[in-house]
Amino acid sequence: MTSPQPLPEDNEIRDVIIIGAGPCGLAVAARLSEETPSAVFTDEEHQRYHWIKKHSGRMNLVQARHNKINGVRATKWDNEKQCPCDERRRRASTDSTSSVPSLTESSSSSSSSFSTLVLDGSGDKWMQRWNNAFKTLEIKQLRSPMFFHVDPGDRDGMLAYTQETGRDSDLWEIPNCVGKEMSKHKKKKRRQGGKNQTLGGEIDERDRKDYFSPSTDLFADYCDSIIDRYGLDEPGQILQCEATDLSYGYLSDNSASKVFTITTSTGEKYYSRTVVLAIGPGGAGVSKIFPWKPSTEQEGAAACCHSMEIKQFPSPGVRDKIQRRQETNVVVVGGGLSSAQLVDMAVRKGVTKVWFLMRSGIKVKHFDINLSWMGKYKNWEKATFWSADTDEERLEMIQTARNGGSMTPRYTKIVKQHAARNRASIHPCTQIKTHEFNPTTQTWTLTTDPPIPDLPPIDFIYFATGAKADVREMPLLREMNDQYPIEVKSGLPCLTNDLSWRNDVPLFMTGRMASLRLGPGAPNLEGARVGAERVAWGIEEVLQKEEKAGEQCEGFCGLGNRYASLVDE
């Protein structure tokens, strides 16, 4: 047990602190603000297996707002109409003593009157690291389909937003999957009860009509509309600061309950009843994977960098040589979509030749998980995952479904076109055997296994090799690991089914860190939305425990009440 700590000077203890302002953090904040969230799954998919039993039948049926619109809620993006979050925006976000309200009250007393703070080291705006990364790498299209997003109000919300704003031109069709419109031949097959036999015939046209992916600009604008809808951009709600230490304990000897203390890199401290860790692959404490660890001299000389650390592209030295019309050679190491995008951008920026090295063979997939987890058989895959007896089984299923990095068919074609024009050289199943950097010429001398004939001196190396997060090695969680140890499998924490650290520690984790509970899609946008739902349930339960007997909240943030009617019947 941690020793008592001094009380905060302003006595402000927030209800929720979210660490990370990326998609996972935004999904949680939006989910907590939505009074009547839509079902993430269909009725047949509402088998929660372990965690649903804990909540069923314990809460009253939610009473939706009288002005809630049925069907697709496209009007929520109409700026001329009354926004359901107007009252929410006028709330006092620093009211740490307010209780969790009931949804049986009027909409002016919404469920978002609890106090929330977001900490992010990359900026004071939502999605800042995400947007900067896409802009730097000049990525124009998301890999995810239209129904992967962070909106808790409508599964088809992005499609509705696209149609409402007339942005159909921002949709990119995912080949060999079901599209928005069907050809006459496909329509004929549908009338005959046929299916689109592509990619193993796993996608049923009658079930999915939105296998398009949005442009990065469309997705960014859609996220902005969600932020605006729920009033999540209030001044002071997101602070740019790096969380460096997290502890959980009593603030004083006479404290009634434990709270979290979050210390930042500048020494500031923030306090909260619950914490959500929603850091992405580029967040603090996430170790980047390298074939070898570059020295400070090599990195300082701008001779190499990880794809997650790119600030400008190409590097200044390479750019100068291109401007002087000198020969340039760049190596890209990796086998995923990011590596293919780097190869393409390097060629477009004028690099003479790009040497594309992959440790394994070329893997081509529309998505970074197997289609069986997204098509009509996904229920079977998810049921098998949730019903697994051990986390070792779940870990094996995750590794099989993701199976390392992969490229989309579109970028595979682009890279091969560059290779056909001798602007790129593709080398699957190849690893760097030796590496020597010459500080005088600012170039690398590399040997590979198997050897690459006539490999010239290399001006720059990009490592698009991903990152790995191990909760046991994250400085932020050092004290949590010491004071509240939990089981860990291959760096992934064995969380509760509500995605909390332990039943007695309301530290919630979402994104990649929740993979053992959410499945292989946890790091994706779909995992962000599904994880936010579970986290919101868990936060509700924690805050309920602090209510007085007989005054517990009824349906905090629209959770829990959807199933009570079934029990009543």
Over residues 541-563, the mean pLDDT reads 54
Residue 81 included in any domain? yes
Last residue of a domain, one of 450, 466, 482: 466
The lowest-confidence range among 134-143, 194-203, 382-391, 533-542 is: 194-203
Q: How do residues 272-325 score in pLDDT, each as one tens digit?
A: 999 999 987 655 556 788 888 887 666 556 789 999 889 889 999 999 999 999
Between CA 518 and CA 516 the distance in angstroms is: 6
Per-residue pLDDT, averaged over 402-416, amounts to: 92
The answer to whether 348 touches 139, Cβ cutoff 8 Å, is no
In the chain, the percentage of residues whose pLDDT exceeds 90 is: 51
Domain count, the chain: 2
Domain for residue 246, yes or no? yes
Q: pLDDT at position 284, please?
A: 56
pLDDT digits (tens, 9 = 90+) for 14-68: 999 999 999 999 999 999 998 777 655 544 444 444 445 455 554 443 433 333 3
Mean pLDDT score, 327-350: 96
Give the pLDDT of residue 149. Answer: 92
Residue 277 lies in domain = 14-150+217-284+470-568
Alpha helices in 366-462 (DSSP H): 378-386, 391-402, 409-420
Q: E strands within 292-423?
A: 304-306, 329-333, 353-357
548 pLDDT above the threshold of 50:
no
Residues in the chain: 569
The token duo for 260 is: 């979290």
Q: Where are the alpha helices (DSSP H) in 101-251?
A: 128-136, 157-164, 184-191, 216-229
**Quick one: DSSP state of residue 354?**
E
Residue 427 sits in a domain whose CATH number is: 3.50.50.60
- What span, in angstroms and rounded, lies between the C-alpha atoms of 58 and 56? 6
The answer, yes or no, to whether residue 561 has pLDDT greater than 60, is no
Cβ burial 448-467 (10 Å sphere, 16+ → b, else e): beeebeebbebbbbbbbbbb
Q: Are 146 and 214 in contact (CB under 8 A)?
A: yes
Between residues 94 and 420, the one the model is more confident about: 420
> Averaged over 217-223, what is the pLDDT?
96
Same domain, 434 and 475: no
Q: Is residue 513 part of a domain?
A: yes
Residues 261 and 361 in one domain: no
- The answer as to whether 163 is a domain residue is no
Compute the average pLDDT of residues 170-197.
51
pTM, entire model: 0.78
Asked if residue 424 is part of any domain, the answer here is: yes
**How much is the pLDDT for 197?**
33
> Token digits for 22?
């990326």
Asked if residue 103 and residue 141 are part of one domain, the reply reads: yes
The CA-to-CA distance between both ends of the chain, in Å, stands at 45
**Is 338 inside a domain boundary?**
yes
- In the Cβ-directed half-sphere of 289, how many Cα atoms lie within 13 Å? 14
pLDDT at 118 over 70: yes
Question: Do residues 82 and 141 both lie within one domain?
Answer: yes
The better pLDDT of the pair 128, 100 is held by 128
411 shares a domain with 355 = yes
**Rounded-to-integer distance, Cα 365 and Cα 377, Å:** 17
Tokens of 355: 């040497």
Rounded CA-CA distance 389/400 in Å is 17
Same domain (yes/no): 49, 130: yes
Q: Report in angstroms the alpha-carbon separations of 120 from 26, 241, 525, 527.
A: 12, 6, 19, 20
Same domain for 427 and 341: yes
**Domain match, 82 and 222 both:** yes
Amino acid at 471: V
Same structural domain, 462 and 521: no
Q: Are residues 342 and 222 in the same domain?
A: no
496 and 560 share one domain? yes
Distance of CA 118 to the CA centre of its chain: 16
Among 422, 445, 466, give the residue marking a domain's end. Answer: 466
- Point out the domain boundary residue: 432, 447, 466: 466
> What pLDDT does 74 receive?
35
CB 220 within 8 A of CB 131: yes
If asked whether residues 548 and 417 sit together in one domain, one would say no
User: What integer is the mean pLDDT of 189-218?
Assistant: 55
> Using one digit for the tens of pLDDT, what is the confidence trace for 127-141?
999 999 899 889 999
Which H, E and C letters describe 508-548, residue by residue? EECHHHHHHHHCCCCCCHHHHHHHHHHHHHHHHHHHHHCCC
Residue position matching structure tokens 């009033």: 231
Per-residue DSSP letter, 385: H
Domain contains 27: yes
Asked if the structure places residue 205 within a domain, the reply is no
